[in-house]
Amino acid sequence: MSTDPTIEQLAALAVALNREGRLSPAAAAELALQHWHAAEWTLHEAQARAEATAKEREQTAAAQAPLRAALRAVRRPTKFPVRLDEALRCWLPNRLAGRTGEAYALYREHLAANMRFDSWKRQGIDQGMPFDQWPEPPADEVARQFALDRRTPFSEREFWLTAESFLAWFVHRHTAEVALARAAAGRRGGRPRKKEAAQGTAKKEAHRKQ
């Protein structure tokens, strides 16, 4: 909000701007008022930028909080290198850590998502194609990469790099499933059932086995 200076403030600024006495008192006062409002607008813009930056940081921190929590919950293997099945037990929540088939299905899905995104970055952006229209990678390519990851143990560095990539995907997927479950419950006029968010995973796993 614009505010005018007091007479004393305006007079002091006019004197400072007219030290050489080249301006009339009225002209010095007018110049002082212009400087006042220019400085006020500059301060207003700086404050608005600072508030926008702080809000963006808060939103970023809130968006990253689930991933940070998931990474904190990762269980460190007893030794390295570590094979994929053990790595998945370390990365996934306790409710999934012992379910190897479902854990492998999740990892294959993560591989497919990563391969699709990487190929879109290399080719789709240059072609001007939106990501949601970019095709899924061929199933045999995903299968080959999955087989390679099963054969090749992770070093400590690879373990943590892959953990961050996998958990970022897993957290995003889980958040989307919860949102869909809540939306479905809202349409029914009731609460989401406890296991409703996991139904999508179970259906996908059953479809894969067919």
| Number of residues that this document lists for the chain | 210
Domain residue ranges in the chain: 1-64, 73-209
pLDDT at 193: 56
pLDDT at 60: 57
pLDDT at 169: 94
pLDDT at 130: 92
pLDDT digits (tens), the chain, 210 positions: 567 888 888 889 889 988 888 889 899 889 888 998 888 888 888 888 877 777 777 665 565 788 888 899 999 999 999 999 999 999 998 877 668 899 999 999 999 999 999 999 999 999 999 999 999 999 999 999 999 999 999 999 999 999 999 999 999 887 766 666 667 777 666 665 555 545 555 555 544 544
